[in-house]
Structure 1
Amino acid sequence: MSSSIRTLARRAALVAATGAAALVLAACGGDGADRPAGGAGHGDAGSHAPAGSPSPAGAHNPQDVAFAQGMIPHHRQALEMARLAADRASSGTVKDLARRIEKAQDPEIRTMSGWLKTWGEKVPEGTGAGGMDHSASGHSGMPGMMGGEDMAALEKLTGKAFDVQFLTMMVEHHEGAVEMAGTEQKKGRHTAAKAMADDIVTAQNAEISEMNKLLGKSESKS
């Protein structure tokens, strides 16, 4: 009989523990249920908690805001450079690379702009192609950002000279983006922003390797 009593007692304890776990999971699941899909509201008391603290997927911190506000103009300048390649580059490989850069970064600009609007933060001004060279000086402190003179000089080049300068500038530009994304990986909190940072590091490091190889070929033939 004592063995049966002990068995019943263990079962009762297991049921109680399971019920408690279910309540904990329900509470955790309800924590972010009312948050917008794109991120926490600007007035969310927990939206600026320190990096590394437990958080629902939509919560963000100041680093996430800085990442989006910095990467948007950074991407816009990359798009301006890429669009110049269409009628200035002589290499089909360079033109293809430029199209891939535009295809990847244009949607990321729209996504980051959406986050900032959801968070109640300012979206950086600028329209991308044709206007970035005039506002680049305002973002010159960002890693890899080109100055207005650099952009104006690139715009004047054509053929192989354009190819070499485009690749040289874009390598530096990509390295800056990877550095910025690395900071987001370490200090950011917003799940989607950190995932984008991961994508930027992976994709742009691969493109840096590709461009360095192209530069090596160009330099060996010069």
Structure 2
Amino acid sequence: MNTTRTRAVLVALTATAVLALAACGSGDGTAHSGTPATAHAGASASDSAAGAHNAQDVTFAQRMIPHHRQALEMAELAAGRASSARVKDLAARIEKAQDPEIKTMSGWLKAWGEDVPMAGMDHGGHTGMAGMMDDTDMTALKKAEGTDFDTMFLTMMVEHHRGAVEMAGTERSQGAYAPATGLAGDIVTAQNAEIKEMKQLLGKG
């Protein structure tokens, strides 16, 4: 009888140990790496949210790319036509800032499976876009030199920047893709500062 009781106790202890090991292995919500399972789930949810975009994000990128390209075209003229060193410096800063932004936005559109605007399109195709110059404006700027170029460039670029700020403001309020709304915020800040600088150069600040 004692032998029977001993066996019963051993069986019970073994069963308890098995249950305890099972609980340690899977019942504490911890992965083998030591990272809580809930943390993995949270990271996945965060990644998904960061990658979300909407139609406004697409519109923003598809419109801002040609808008930036025209600003670069205008800025490139300054090196050989502007008389003011400050105008040349401003133009160089515009090129340095906006060229990488074009590449960034083009990358988003490709990742989303959307069309990237083609370079070299007539300016007339974008006349409905805020701040864009038409072919007549661009032809006049290309013919100007010296102080005439400086005044024309600054006047046109103020208008151009105002259009970009308007478009970026819409993205900030209606966009869903965090990197795009963040870039829009950067555009608003940088181009408003440049507008103030250009107005001072024009004697209107």
TM-score class, shorter-chain normalisation, is 0.7 to 0.9
What is the CA–CA distance in structure 1 between the aligned matches of 2:203 and 2:45, rounded to whole Å?
Answer: 53
Q: CA deviation at 1:24?
A: 5.0
Matched, 1:124 2:144: no
Q: CA deviation at 1:140?
A: 0.9
Matched, 1:194 2:181: yes
2:50 aligned residue:
57
Give 2:156's aligned amino acid: M
What is the CA–CA distance in structure 2 between the aligned matches of 1:115 and 1:30, rounded to whole Å?
Answer: 20
What is the CA–CA distance in structure 2 between the aligned matches of 1:179 and 1:214, rounded to whole Å?
Answer: 22
1:176 aligned residue:
163
> In proportion to residue count, which structure has more helix?
2
Mapping of 1:136-215 within 5 angstroms? Answer: 136-215=123-202
What is the CA–CA distance in structure 2 between the aligned matches of 1:91 and 1:69, rounded to whole Å?
Answer: 33
What is the CA–CA distance in structure 2 between the aligned matches of 1:109 and 1:30, rounded to whole Å?
Answer: 29
Matched, 1:82 2:70: no
Q: Structure 2 length as normaliser, TM-score?
A: 0.80
Q: CA deviation at 1:59?
A: 1.0
Equivalences, count: 173
Pick the aligned partner of 1:30 from 33, 38, 44: 44
Runs of 4+ in 1 over 3 A off after TM superposition: 22-26
Tell me, what secondary structure is at the counterpart of 1:213?
Answer: helix
Aligned residues with identical type, % of pairs = 66
Q: Structure 1 length as normaliser, TM-score?
A: 0.74
Q: CA deviation at 1:57?
A: 1.0
What is the CA–CA distance in structure 1 between the aligned matches of 2:103 and 2:86, rounded to whole Å?
Answer: 27
Q: CA deviation at 1:175?
A: 0.2
After superposition, give the CA deviation of every residue in 1:20-66 in whole Å (9 maximum; x if it has no partner): xx655432312355xxxxxxxxxxxxxxxxxxxxx611211000000
Give 2:43's aligned amino acid: G
After superposition, give the CA deviation of every residue in 1:90-144 in whole Å (9 maximum; x if it has no partner): 0000000000000000000000000000000000001xxxx45xx1111111100
What is the CA–CA distance in structure 2 between the aligned matches of 1:74 and 1:62, rounded to whole Å?
Answer: 18
1:100 aligned residue:
93
